[in-house]
Structure 1
């Protein structure tokens, strides 16, 4: 009887851990407000984009966006020819970007908050 009880507790623990694992991996799906700030170059000084993350894929209704957010929150995105990477954690994130305007390189940082 004692062995059966230990097995039941172990089985229960394994099943609970299995169901909790996806939540611990990080789910970044939802609407994000992204603010892009230029530090060098002639790109717009500040731009904002509402971006949507669905199953780790990044998209936007009115911008040419491709990219992804990994289970641990690592971001890789291309927005209108500019490239960004960084990190999301919980409902916020930040990172760096680089691109060009009229053939002149520019770069800066970005900040994001989940809506």
Structure 2
């Protein structure tokens, strides 16, 4: 189930990206550091309809164990994340955030929304 793996990795990247802050000094805690729960909802395409993932942000960097994830959250909370051919963007504010994502499952485009909340 390649599309499920892509979806899972993408979801983790969104959560991580949703909580990372760009240009954070080394060893300095960022505004969005911590554990975040992200819910992904597919609006178009054949990807899973809904998925939930916990992600951690540390020093404003977006990472996911075992996943090729890159992304960040700007000082004002703007989220930009990529994983493989999937991309997400959105906005964090305080302990929550939301945005849009797009990718593909089996070559068929998928897209939708994501929501994040800090634990």
| Structure 1: stretches of 5+ with no match in the other structure | 1-25
| Structure 2: stretches of 5+ with no match in the other structure | 1-29
Distance 1:32 1:84 in 2: 16
Q: Which residue of 2 aligns with 1:106?
A: 110
Does residue 83 of the first structure (1) align with residue 57 of the second (2)?
Answer: no
TM-score when scaled to structure 1?
0.72
Aligned residue-pair number: 90
Q: Which residue of 2 aligns with 1:43?
A: 47
Distance 2:42 2:35 in 1: 23
| Alpha carbons 1:95, 1:110 under 8 Å: kept | yes
Deviations 1:9-64 (A, max 9, x none): xxxxxxxxxxxxxxxxx700111111110000001111122111112211122543
**Which of these two proteins has the greater Rg computed from alpha carbons?**
1
TM-score when scaled to structure 2?
0.70
Q: RCO higher in 1 or 2 (8 Å CA, sep ≥ 6)?
A: 2
Structure with the bigger percentage of helix: 1
Tell me which stretches of 4 or more aligned residues in structure 1 moved more than 4 Å. none
Match of 1:69 among 73, 81, 98: 73
